Amino acid sequence: MRYAQDGGLTAVQRAKRQQIRLRAAELFARGYTDEQAARELRVTRTSANRWCRAWTRGGGAALASRGPASLPRLGEARFARLEAALTQGPVAHGWDDQRWTPARIRRVIGRMFHLTYSLPGVWKLLRRHGWSCQVPARRVVERDEEAIAAWKTQGVADRGTTAADLGAWVCFEDGCGRTMRSPMARAWGRRGATPVVRAPGRRESRASVAA
């Protein structure tokens, strides 16, 4: 089977599939039918039948992996350049928010390498290189990292009386309340590195916390 636009299996996945096919060859040698092999290996009968015919013609060697079906259109070096560009964020490439979508990434690929990808091709390309579609974390634009660090060491975490010392209110609402979370859909990012979406947070002097 040929996979278009970098949509094929990785080396690890190809090795895993080869192990299954070689296991199928062992079962055929023991007299298993394609139906029995499919049930044993938990694969479709169509795959087992195809492997059985190949094994009959050429033995176990016919089921060995032949490597990738085709060379990737975007090699490792080029993808590294693309990933560096994506790390800069969509805003750096002319969009007004921070959400990477396959359509936007396809446009960046076209600009950088003059290649035309389909949307499923972009999706498969990203998945093969360790990217996934995630719910982005939201961070207030006006976030003061120094103040947060001080609060963690000197505020509630230390004494638990910050609100009283400052004469502030701590409000808890049951049910609905105002939220500072911007309505953002999912965004693509490398697995283990959740995308961060910055949203304005100084629209009101007091924020409500649902509890």
User: Tell me: the pLDDT tens digits for 61-106?
Assistant: 888 877 655 556 788 889 999 999 999 989 899 998 888 999 999 9
- 74 with 8: CB under 8 angstroms? no
Mean pLDDT, the chain, rounded, equals 77
CA neighbor of 187 nearest in space, from 132, 150, 140, 138: 132
Task: Give Cβ neighbours of residue 159 (< 8 Å, ≥ 6 apart).
Answer: none
3-state secondary structure at position 177: coil
Question: Hey, which residues does 137 pair with through a beta bridge?
Answer: 196
Is the model's pLDDT at 206 over the cut of 80? no
Q: What is the model's pLDDT at position 162? A: 66
Dihedral sign, CA of 18, 20, 26, 31? negative
Burial 93-112 (b: 16+ CB within 10 A, else e): beeeebbbbbebbbbbbeee
pTM confidence score: 0.47
User: Tell me: the pLDDT tens digits for 122-178?
Assistant: 988 898 888 888 877 766 666 667 776 776 676 555 555 666 777 777 766 655 544
User: Tell me: the pLDDT tens digits for 96-107?
Assistant: 888 899 999 999
